[in-house]
Structure 1
């Protein structure tokens, strides 16, 4: 199974980039994984920029992928539940899981409506760059739970 992470804009903070690289490498021991960076829109109104970013995100998602959009309206779950969900998806017919993280404007409604699932990391608000690391860590934790390694303890 391949896991793809699509997010808007490059990670600017070097410390966050190092954490991203670390967790991507860890997840890579369990699954093929890839990051696709959607270009951040800078021109026009917020609504127009959100639409442009939405089209850019959509262009990074292969047809037939199982998409999970991170959004405040998404389901909250603990790490064990999340590991179960990923485990069920691994056993399914889809070859790729795509996690989508929007930029500071969020995610275009059309992308949200097409997503197979919405996931919330917390009811709290976090910087979108930090959400990337939180998601990567939780995916790694889910992999370790499924494989029975001691990381989750």
Structure 2
């Protein structure tokens, strides 16, 4: 992960400590012959197994997928607020590797979020997610950050 991205995500995690926290866990990308369809499928299945193993028991799973729901920051904050109000204690956001998320991960998700139809590098998508979680918390708690 590029150092500036790591620093950015660490900064948002530090800001979120007093609001419930944010933990970023990375799994290594599966090594496979991604030029062949069978290799891509195998890599996605391997990544899926390792991703799902990291999901805490009882956590609400949210995937990031270009086929997910397009919502603005206010709607994202409102969704997080509903989950909080419903008693959800842990929300686990899952980002896929270069080929996306395996169906075995997508079917575990209670919600699938999209940042749009464009493809983003994984480090950038991670930084965007950390920022949007922080922004959502500031919206919910009426902290002057979101304009």
Common topology (TM > 0.5): yes
d(CA) in 2 for partners of 1:105, 1:28: 32
Q: How does 1:18-29 map to 2 (within 5 A)?
A: 18-29=7-18
Root-mean-square deviation over aligned CA pairs: 1.2
- What's the counterpart of residue 124 of structure 1? 118
1:39-92 Cα distance to aligned partner (Å, 9 max, x none):
321035111111000000010012321110000110011111010000011112
Gaps of at least 5 residues in structure 1 are 1-10
Q: How many residues matched?
A: 142
Q: In structure 2, which of residues 132, 139, 142 is the aligned counterpart of residue 145 of structure 1?
A: 139
Taking structure 1 as the reference length, the TM-score comes to: 0.88
Give the number of the structure whose residues are more often strand, by fraction: 1
- What's the counterpart of residue 60 of structure 2? 66
Gaps of at least 5 residues in structure 2 are 34-38
Taking structure 2 as the reference length, the TM-score comes to: 0.91
Q: How does 1:1-153 map to 2 (within 5 A)?
A: 11=1, 13-44=2-33, 45-153=39-147
d(CA) in 1 for partners of 2:52, 2:82: 24
Question: Deviation above 6 Å: which 4+ runs of structure 1?
Answer: none
